[in-house]
Amino acid sequence: MAANEVAVLGVGMHPWGKWGRNFVEYGVAAARDALRDAGIPWSDVQFVSGADTMRNGYPGYVSGATFAQALGWNGARVASSYAACASGVTAIEAARTRILAGLCDVALVVGADTTPKGFLAPNAGDRPNDPDWLRFRLVGATNPTYFALAARRRMDLHGATSQDFAKVKVKNATNGLANPNARFQKAVTVDDVLASPMVADPLHLLEICATSDGGAALVLCSLEYAKRHAATAGSVVRVAAVSTVTPTYPNTIIDLPDMATDSSAVVAAPEHRFKASIAHAAYEEAGIGPEDLSLAEVYDLSTALELDWYEDIGLCKVGEAERLLNDGDTQIGGRIPVNPSGGLACFGEAVPAQAIAQVCEVTWQLRGQAAGRQVEGATSGITANQGLFGHGSSVLLTR
Amino acid sequence: MSTRTRVPALGAEGWFTPDAEEPTLLGQRCTTCGTYAFPQAAFGCPNPACAGTDMETVPLSRRGKVWSYTDARYQPPPPYVVPTDEHVPFAIAAVELADEGLVVMGQLVPGVSVDDLSVGQEVELVVDVLFSDDDTDHLIWKWQPVTSATTGGAS
């Protein structure tokens, strides 16, 4: 056991859906679920770490104190984090570092949101200093624009086809059928995907993740605390590494919300481009590599982006993701299943909850509790995620 | 028609030459390390290894190669302003400017669809109307495929 590990004592979720209710309701339900799973009372929690809601690309409601009050003030220390799609892991990292510093034994991490229909769009009013406003106004570039640029690039560089992309959705939809927390539990075919309306060529509607309501929570604690409290001590899931790295200059892959890349005229692009550097940092910290993994939960904002992640987290060499997919390696029962939860394809994105939900799924998998979608004998898993403004995250979990 | 006012779109003032015969984007170059920035770096050199704060405004290459491309089949939400009565899908390209080592997004000129585009294809910068209101045309840069009719121009 490495000295920098913490334990996942409990995980919980409110199912994903589209109801438009108060996000606090989802977060509190997930938190109570996680506390029940951990077998500890709320009054024992010493630190509450919230992932703030996302409103038009920016932080919305304060989360940590809101959840603490809703659960009943217990005097715990509190923090709220915002890091776009990576907010959940930033909240995890705040809890982990506090535990590792010896400043607390047990922490509750919560993220939840309720989200509007349709394209994520910026706040109203003229904000010409805001890159997220500018890309909509000056170019008409929505989030799917960026997903599609990456998809077309993949087709050109690696010969990916629309059928390859559609098969990612088919795989994830199949996995999600067995996930009671998934919003979409419906099998789809390649033909269904390709017959859905084109949104941003080459991506169809069924290839782009929706926005959802949902909530997820974790109880994290020191390994000592876990030994005292876990009914199944010895098989406790551990957080082996957390990565929240930012890009290294020059960031040469165009990314939300920017309209241009950094310049590579003077400084060469780094060995690991941003998305690859996120997982790389987690592997380095944990001292384990992609060959040690049993499964991965990656951020399939689009079908094509899931294929990029195969390479970015080191499951295969650059250009080999389509082969990995088509060989069945990434389906449940394959060599390295990816998104056994069903991924964003089946959840849609509830931004502050999503990166926490990835950790919940890996935890269930490592405990052998992912009924209907279990990766047999899973011993380690990684999550990977990327969002606006240079945010990204990865969590490595082992048992 | 000559009474219409032509102005760079809000937020893009100083980002390109609105009236030049051969328009260019206006980026910046660090006088210390030589790296480029677009849009302009308001807070000094973006190269973390360089402490330079003096950035000179420079025209960027008018031509580049398509790095990737897509289109907007659905009308983007505000603050995008629909320039016509109904949304007409438009193409968007990310274009690689080799000398500057930059990739810059922009719309394609109207009439160019994804079927007309390919990765690596050469395109050229033009200034076009983003949208109009009352007596003002709000201008923006767009990319236009370089055809045999335009290959005689500056590169």
Q: How confident is the model at residue A115 (pLDDT cuts 50, 70, 90)?
A: confident
Q: How confident is the model at residue B13 (pLDDT cuts 50, 70, 90)?
A: very high
pLDDT above 60 for A204: yes
If residue A92 lies in a helix (H) or strand (E), which one and from where to where?
helix A87-100
pLDDT in tens, B114-151: 999 999 999 999 999 999 998 999 999 999 999 865 55
The residue type of A61 is Y
Task: Please report the pLDDT score of residue B152 as a whole number.
Answer: 45
pLDDT above 70 for A317: yes
B76/A136 Cβ within 8 A? yes
Shortest CA gap B4–chain A (Å) = 20
Helices A351-367 and A87-100, interaxial angle, to 10°?
A: 60
Shortest CA gap B27–chain A (Å) = 11
pLDDT in tens, B87-102: 999 999 999 999 999 9
Q: Is A157 helix (H, G, I), strand (E, B) or coil?
A: helix
pLDDT above 70 for A387: yes
> B50 to chain A: nearest residue by CA?
A267
Task: Please report the pLDDT score of residue A121 as a whole number.
Answer: 72
Residues 6+ apart with CB under 8 A from B86: none
Mean pLDDT value of segment A6-18: 97
Q: How confident is the model at residue A119 (pLDDT cuts 50, 70, 90)?
A: low
> B100 to chain A: nearest residue by CA?
A265
Task: Please report the pLDDT score of residue B3 as a whole number.
Answer: 79
Q: Is A155 helix (H, G, I), strand (E, B) or coil?
A: helix
Q: Is B64 helix (H, G, I), strand (E, B) or coil?
A: strand
Task: Please report the pLDDT score of residue A69 as a whole number.
Answer: 98
Q: Does B33 touch chain A (CB under 8 A)?
A: yes
pLDDT above 60 for A234: no
Q: How confident is the model at residue A118 (pLDDT cuts 50, 70, 90)?
A: low
Contact between A210 and A300 (Cβ < 8 Å): no
Task: Please report the pLDDT score of residue B155 as a whole number.
Answer: 37
Task: Please report the pLDDT score of residue A3 as a whole number.
Answer: 74
Q: How confident is the model at residue B2 (pLDDT cuts 50, 70, 90)?
A: low
- Cα–Cα distance measured from residue A214 to residue A350, given in angstroms and rounded to the nearest whole number: 6
Q: Is-cis flag, bond preceding A250, omega within 30?
A: yes
Residues 6+ apart with CB under 8 A from A42: A31, A32, A35, A71, A72, A74, A108
Average pLDDT, chain A: 95
Bin A335: left if φ > 0, else alpha if -120 < ψ < 50, else beta. Answer: alpha
Mean pLDDT value of segment A197-223: 97
Among A146-150, A217-221, A232-236, A286-290, the least confident range: A232-236
ipTM of the complex: 0.94
Query: Can you spell out the DSSP letters for A195-236?
Result: HSPEEETTEEGGGBPPB-EEEEEEEEE-HHHHHHH-TTTTS-
pLDDT above 80 for A233: no
**Facing B102 at nearest CB: one of A139, A140, A260:** A260
Q: Does B84 touch chain A (CB under 8 A)?
A: no
- How many CA atoms within 13 Å lie on the side-chain side of B55? 22
pLDDT above 60 for B153: no
CA angle A357, A369, A280 (to 5 degrees): 50
Higher pLDDT, A234 or A319: A319
- Cα–Cα distance measured from residue A8 to residue A233, given in angstroms and rounded to the nearest whole number: 12
- Cα–Cα distance measured from residue A47 to residue A221, given in angstroms and rounded to the nearest whole number: 10
B67/A136 Cβ within 8 A? no
pLDDT in tens, A91-113: 999 999 999 999 999 999 999 99
Percent of chain B with pLDDT over 70: 94
Mean pLDDT value of segment A334-357: 98
Based on the number of CB atoms within 10 Å of its own CB, is A334 exposed (0-12), middle (13-18) or buried (19 or more)?
middle
Residues 6+ apart with CB under 8 A from A254: A146, A149, A260, A261, B67, B94, B103, B105
pLDDT above 90 for A123: no
pLDDT in tens, B26-84: 999 999 999 999 999 889 999 999 999 999 999 999 999 999 999 999 999 999 999 99
DSSP B77: P
Task: Please report the pLDDT score of residue B154 as a whole number.
Answer: 41
